[in-house]
Amino acid sequence: MRRKGTTFFFSTINCSTYRPHASRAEAAFEEGDRFDERGRGAHLADHTRLDLRRAYARFLTFILECHPERLGLAPQQRIDHETTKEYVAWRRRRRPGIGMGIEIHHLHGAFRLICPQTDWSWFLTIATRMVATTPKKPPLHNQVTSERLYALGIELMDRAAAQSDAAGRTSKAHAIAYRDGLLIALMAVNPLRRRTAVALRLNSHLVKAGDLWCLDIPATDTKNRRPLDYPIAEQLSARIDHYLNRFRGHLPGADQHNGMWASNRGRPLSSDALYAAVCKRSEKALGIRVNPHRFRHAAATLLSIHDPANVRCAKDLLGHASFDTTEAHYIMAQSRMAGRVVARIVDALRK
């Protein structure tokens, strides 16, 4: 029985395919409660919990297909060295070429939540070894830095505005192009994680003070549960005004929600749609498929090349957590300073 990758296996308990095993499987599925916001995994970010749930769901699918008799056992008794090898082979048959290192790490995290008293060090050793032996992809993120991405965003916005002027009207295509350009330029200067960028809401995460806009992102919308505060430079603030006053309203249903990135479907842009838009625009213009996460590499690369004295600001710009108490108390001020450093470098390079 085929399932989409995003379908969570715990929801299939009532499916007739699994009914013969239901009595034993119900207890297994209850283990999924450990991943929710009220369970043992409450301290984890939403995306991390989802990764662990999916990893454990795939493992349960494997057990159900290959070792159904083990569903009656305690979770820690369902897996050993030999079963781990079988599971890896099983996954690779379904997805040839898949790198299993991260998947096994996620499964390790799931087992730690479900059975915290069990010693999973042997499993962590396997996961670490798999990650170390997985062929590394070329570091393509070093081929582009923030100033080029920022320039791409400006080019897209200028072209959309010029085409709109020439046509004497603003079409939906013009609005989408301007939106994508603004998104790329903003992420070049303030490289947010995708889930944070998607969550941006007007007058909530994006607020205006005088003529300038700033990003005020609460801890609940960041992976590391740390608030971020980024100022937005004058030039980009003016373009946000232009987007809101001239282009955003031409996207369907934009007046029905306060999502910064209005989509073509009457709702805020989804995570997958944002990813696709950024990849499509960057690949067409640069010949390199730059996904949203690589904007973070680009910003760090820019700092290391043009302002090595302040390269440590990259940690704060990216919102990475620190174990140092002083840094923990000043993280918001430091993220603001880091944002200004990158904005200053980009403006100077363009001049």
Task: Between 340 and 176, name the one with better pLDDT.
Answer: 176
Question: Which helix H or strand E contains 124, and what residues bound it?
Answer: helix 121-133
49-89 pLDDT, tens digit per residue, is 788 888 899 999 999 999 999 888 888 899 998 998 899 88
pTM of the model: 0.60
pLDDT at 214 over 60: yes
Domains of the chain, start order: 9-133 (no CATH), 140-350 (1.10.443.10)
pLDDT at 18 over 50: no
pLDDT at 28: 43
Question: Which residues in 21-42 are b (16+ Cβ under 10 Å) and which e?
Answer: beeebeebbebbebbeeeeebe
Task: Say which DSSP state 202 is in.
Answer: B
Whole-number average pLDDT of the chain: 76
pLDDT at 48 over 50: yes
Residues 87 and 62 sit within 8 Å (Cβ to Cβ): yes
